[in-house]
Amino acid sequence: MHCYEKLSSLLGLACHPDMQDWELENANPERLPEFIHAYQTGGFSRQEQHALMGLILASFDDYLAAEAVPDPAVEHTVCALLEQQWQDFQSLVRYWSLIDEDMDDKFHITPIMRKLWARHAKPQPG
């Protein structure tokens, strides 16, 4: 069973062959605490963890877009999960950071991800 199928079955999410961005299509800020709890208690494979973290980040971005005053504890929890497995998730942080893009064109989560990236990314040899 593919990781998306397993996670979809476990969390009651959509999963069909035509989906291009499972994480983005299933993002739901109202279910963010549930997704975080599943991540923390699920005992998932690395591939499943990566997919679930992608869902968490997409949902967190939607949460930030919807909340006038976001709860700092949510940001702290998401960042702590990313930092605990930095090597596994640095590609996700880089994606949401839009490192090579102007800040005029960004996600709601981009400033938070850029701070994480600046704190943890090792400079590339040039």
Q: How many helices (H) and strands (E) does the chain have?
A: 7, 0
User: pTM of the prediction?
Assistant: 0.93
Structural domain spans, the chain: 1-121
Residue 15 CA to residue 5 CA, distance in Å, equals: 6
Residue 53 pLDDT: 98
- Judged by DSSP in three states, 23 sits in helix
Confidence of residue 123 (pLDDT cuts 50, 70, 90): low
What integer pLDDT is reported at residue 103 of this predicted model? 76
Q: What is the pLDDT of residues 19-72, one digit of tens each?
A: 889 999 999 999 999 999 999 998 899 999 999 999 999 999 999 999 989 999
Here the contacts of 82-91 (C-beta below 8 Å, separation 24 or greater) are 82/53, 82/116, 83/116, 83/120, 85/49, 86/120, 88/46, 88/49, 88/50, 89/50, 89/53, 90/117, 90/120, 90/121
* Residue 95, amino acid: Y
